[in-house]
Structure 1
């Protein structure tokens, strides 16, 4: 494969312009979370009564097989939401994985932490060979150590933000399989152009590595179609900049979930997610970062229901596929509101 790595523009060259005093920084400063605020949020998680934050019934999943994936045509771009923010693409014959998380818990531990609502539609063992794994940042619900190690033998390249290469090297990934990206850096291949673009977020997997690595989003543009993958982000003007530089997009995969008034700068409400889609000049929006893990205080179905109502009111096409459902960017997007029959009918259920 012919790969060409480049940095676009002097101000966004690989100079770590957002790196100082050993840390990466957002373009728009995010207020720091001190010890007192951290303890306050932890206290909420331990003491606040959660209502419908986890489903009380089995969620629908469509199982996938290796044969089914291999039979998908090589003449278009196929998209499959695997759960949360994990997405499998077949890009004109090549399989690419975005933020693959297959772990039972989004946690550094196997015995505690947010547990999956549903299984992945396919196991790592059953996946075909993967050409590229793209990572947005190193939080546990986006970077799964065990999954990366299991994918190593069948993956050609790992594309990661600056600093995340250190994690992969420690986990046994060969250095020649890793490409690290600064914001606005591009990779040109014979299938598509990829660009790593800014978000308003943070990084860290422990108590001592806060913002030691970068975070961001991914742009994928082929000759025929274009896709945006948000990773995690608070709402910021960067979405307009990305839209102006790389838009319009046929599909935007936008974070819509795990929002709360205690962390408004690093995650978006559904209203902000829809505005980000508009800023990006997107055509069809697919809400991600929902329906798999309990990471906030809202009901598990609330992000999907709120964004569905908002998009309908604004006349914006919204696609909400069941995990495992195969979509083609050339075909009509899936519009079934699968979560609505599973919403609890009780006075405690949030009203929108």
Structure 2
């Protein structure tokens, strides 16, 4: 019975978070993206009625197709702190979903850290992990900076932030997301917030918050009270792009023109559906975004860890693999916890095929 009530709660929360109803008071921000008390996309998203969202929720909760969760074991390469400290610079480890651990200039940087069992406002219900993280937070080396793309539960994990707060020097966020961290108890001096096209440099690594097409919110009344962003990461002659969550939009070409060519683009490929085309990309759009960015290697992220849509869990990786092969795109699909040399990436293997 508790699971039934939890399911209903999560569904109602999702409906209300996505619809444009009255929001709680939001601080005013001096930003072109902030209008009438909310952050906006360059192109307005389609608004859904409560009835449409209720039907979507019902389908997601009670009419999901088979195969959205693996029946086998997702391969994970366990990591140790000693191994990470001994790793060469310019190494990336995918820890799950959109969580990447990147070593640059002898320091470690972490994107959208989610380590909790569920991507949910409660830990007794909601989307559960397919696999454990390759390393626990307390085993991580000191983190130079955490880079956040937006405030949704599968990208901003309260428990992870609290566990990381003492061992992290800086938290880099879009506007408003940093205020959440401060409210949670993170020292304000550690938090830096940015509008699109703004950034900072930390010990020779440059970070720029770049546009994305998405939305935000963690409760019934805070829709779009914080900004969402993608990120450009520059170190020496290495150029990386991290998409966060986004629908396909013309901003990819602008980002590519300003900061490309990229050595590696980490682009979302998962949790998509034709019912919400504005805020997540189909694999064909992921490929086009990669081409717009003018990148050498594509790392598809936002897949393989949580059940957040109606497609089979392996489908995003299968589809992007086929599309990349057809266009001659260099695709890398490292296992969770597998080291990836950012200067000489390898293709990886189709690890998802053994975990049906």
Q: Which residue of 1 aligns with 2:85?
A: 70
> Does 2:204 match 1:191?
yes
The number of equivalent residue pairs is 328
Deviation at 1:143, TM superposition (A): 0.1
List aligned pairs for 1:334-345, cutoff 5 A: 334-343=347-356
Q: 2:66 aligns with which of 42, 46, 51?
A: 51
Matches within 5 A, 1:214-225: 214-225=227-238
1:247 aligns with one of 240, 260, 265 = 260
SS in 2 for 1:218: strand
1:109-132 per-residue CA deviation (whole Å, 9 max, x = no partner) reads 111100000000000000000000
Pair 1:177-2:190 in alignment: yes
Q: After the TM superposition, list the runs of 4 or more consecutive aligned residues in structure 1 that deviate by more than 3 angstroms.
A: none
1:135 — aligned with what? 148
Distance in 2 (alpha carbons) for counterparts of 1:59 and 1:298 = 17
Shift of 1:45: 1.4
Q: Of Structure 1 and Structure 2, which has the larger fraction of its residues in helix?
A: 2
Residue equivalent to 2:111: 98
TM-score by length of 1: 0.91
> Equivalent residue for 2:327?
314
Structure 2 residue matching 1:267: 3-state secondary structure: coil
**Is the partner of 1:241 in helix, strand or coil?**
helix
Partners in 2 of 1:116 and 1:46 — Cα distance? 17
Deviation at residue 342 of structure 1 after TM alignment: 3.3
1:19 aligns with 2:27: no
**Do the aligned residues in 2 keep the contact of 1:91 with 1:191 (CA within 8 Å)?**
no
In the alignment, what sits opposite 2:56? 41
List runs of 5+ in structure 1 lacking aligned partners. 1-13, 344-352
Among candidates 206, 209, 215, match of residue 219 of structure 2: 206
Q: What is the TM-score of this pair, normalised by structure 2?
A: 0.90
What is the aligned partner in structure 1 of residue 292 from structure 2?
A: 279
Displacement of 1:277 after TM fit? Answer: 0.4
Please tell me whether the aligned partners of residues 108 and 142 of structure 2 are also in contact (alpha carbons under 8 angstroms): yes
CA-based RMSD: 1.1
8 A contact 2:256–2:292 mirrored in 1 = yes
Q: 2:120 aligned to 103, 107, 126, which one? A: 107
Contact 1:96 1:131 in 2 (8 A): yes
Pick one of 118, 127, 144 that aligns with 2:131: 118
Gaps of 5+ in 2: 1-28
